[in-house]
Amino acid sequence: MRAIPVASVALLGVAALSACVPAGAAVGGDNSTFGFTVHPGIVEPGGEVTLGVGRTAAGCRGRVTVTSPVFDTVTIPRHESSATARVDRDARRGAVYQVSFACKERTGTVNLTIADGSHRPTPEPRHSKGVHAGEGGSVAGFDVKQIGLGVALIAGAVGTAYHLSRRRPGGDGT
């Protein structure tokens, strides 16, 4: 009879954990294999995007050529990790365009969305050169509110399961 509360706790735990995953985790352009990135992932026509490439051991170490139908071809030199591109002013609003990265025999694509005019993306700070610190390792992207919500949901599920498992059978013999 204890199998039902245990199964309920397991299902509630999985649901709580999946609710904590950010809905747009993959949006905004990141090809995790070689670290190809486009920031911001949503841009106004005529806006500027930063094209990035990971320079780690698994990433690309050579020159990177970046192409897209909405901006001129950009080359990221082997000693740089990013470059900028200006999106064409006549880019179709609401459209999603592919940005292709090519580094020797390695390639990758990232989606770039053209804003539809209903919202304005938050501009990111511009850095001409240097280290882009603070987003590496296992700490990047943590949201304290989401973590707190996840902990509360899991604690509630475990507490409810404990309470239900400790209840005494009713007077009817069940």
What would the pLDDT profile of 80-134 be if each residue is shown by its tens digit?
Answer: 889 999 999 999 999 999 999 998 878 889 999 999 876 555 555 555 555 555 5
Q: Is the pLDDT of residue 163 over 60?
A: yes
When the pLDDT of each residue in the chain is averaged and rounded to a whole number, the result is 74
Residue 163: partners with Cβ closer than 8 Å, 6 or more residues away:
none
- The mean per-residue pLDDT over the stretch 141-150 comes to 75
CA distances from 20 to 14, 83, 108, 165 (A): 10, 33, 28, 26
- Under DSSP, the state recorded for 110 is E
| Residue 50, H or E segment | strand 48-52
Closest C-alpha to 43, from 98, 111, 112: 112
Question: In angstroms, what CA-CA distances link 93 with 28, 70, 97, 106?
Answer: 16, 11, 11, 30
Predicted local confidence at residue 33, as pLDDT: 52
- pTM: predicted TM-score of the whole model, two decimal places: 0.50
pLDDT for the residue numbered 61: 80
**Is the pLDDT at 166 greater than 60, yes or no?**
yes
More confident residue, 153 or 26: 153
Q: What is residue 29's predicted lDDT score, i.e. its pLDDT?
A: 45
Which residues contact residue 48 at a Cβ distance below 8 angstroms, ignoring those fewer than 6 apart?
Answer: 84, 85, 86, 87
The residue among 66 and 18 whose pLDDT is bigger is: 66
The pLDDT score that the predictor gives to residue 144 is 76
pLDDT at 27 over 50: no
Q: In what order do the strands lie in the sheet with 64-68?
A: 42-43, 106-114, 96-103, 64-68, 71-76
Average pLDDT over residues 22-43: 62
